[in-house]
Structure 1
Amino acid sequence: MAYTINRVISNADFEEVDKRARQALADRGFGVLTEIDVKATMKKKLDKDMSGYRILGACNPAMAWEAIGAEPRVGAMLPCNVILREVPEGIEVSAVDPVASMSAVENDELSQIAGKVRDQLSEVVEAI
């Protein structure tokens, strides 16, 4: 089972794709709660160089509210991560597939919510 929703953007640089990703998330009710610059962290902590790689921890409060109501411990699996990474073809955007990530939780209501969030994240990735 695929666990991410992916797209490669070949006509923009890293910061432009980041800007477009944040706007597409906001347009669909998501906010970015966390941001990890993996490239900078690996350089600082391990003195290792790597291509651009950023993790955006995105949350749609209405969907999070529903998910926590259906399964109180689901917060351990939130927020929904969206990664931006430099690849030879451009910038790859990958969003977690909530249906795949929630498949370990046996809760039909949560599965339905995860399906709605997957649809929204698919729209986000397509809109970038």
Structure 2
Amino acid sequence: MTYTINRMISDAGIDEVDARTREALADHGFGVLTEIDVKATMKKKLDVEMPAYRILGACNPKMAFQAIGIEPRVGAMLPCNVILRELDNGVEVSAIDPVASMQAIENSELTSVAGEVRDMLAKAVDAI
């Protein structure tokens, strides 16, 4: 089983893909709560160079509230991370598959919510 929902964008650079990703997430009910510029962090902490790599922590408040109501400790697995990474042939966007990430929790009601979130994230990734 794959653990991410992926799309390669070859017609834009990292900054444009970032903007398009944020817009697609917003259009599908997600906000970006956190962001990490991994490239800048690795340069600062380890003095190493790497291609652009960003992690966006996306959250759909309604779905997060529902999941926390079902399983209060699920917050340890939130938000849904979406990565943007620069490759030779474009920018790859990868969103976590919530169903895959929730497999450790044996709760069918939570699995159902995770499936809804997966569908929403897949639509957002497809819209970028």
Instruction: Give the CA deviation at 1:119.
Output: 0.1
TM-score of the two chains, using structure 1 as the length reference: 0.99
1:51-90 matches, within 5 Å, as: 51-90=51-90
Query: Any idea what SS the aligned residue of 2:6 has?
Result: strand
C-alpha separation in 2, matches of 1:100 and 1:108: 13
Match of 1:18 in 2: 18
Correspondence 1:29-68 to 2 at 5 A: 29-68=29-68
Give me the CA root mean square deviation: 0.4
Q: Deviations over 1:16-71 (max 9, x none)?
A: 00000000000011000000000000000000000000000000000001100110
Which residue does 1:97 correspond to in 2? 97
Rounded to whole Å, the distance in 1 between the matches of 2:87 and 2:125 is 16
Show structure 1 runs of 5+ residues with no match.
none
CA distance in 2 between counterparts of 1:106 and 1:40 reads 38
- Partner-residue secondary structure (3-state), 1:123: helix
* Count, aligned residues: 128
| 2-structure distance, mates of 1:110, 1:66 | 9
Q: Distance in 2 between matches of 1:63 and 1:41?
A: 30
Structure 2 gaps of 5+ residues are: none
* Identity within the alignment, %: 73
Which runs of at least 4 in structure 1 moved beyond 3 Å after TM superposition?
none
User: Matched residues in 1 for 2:65 and 2:79: separation?
Assistant: 12
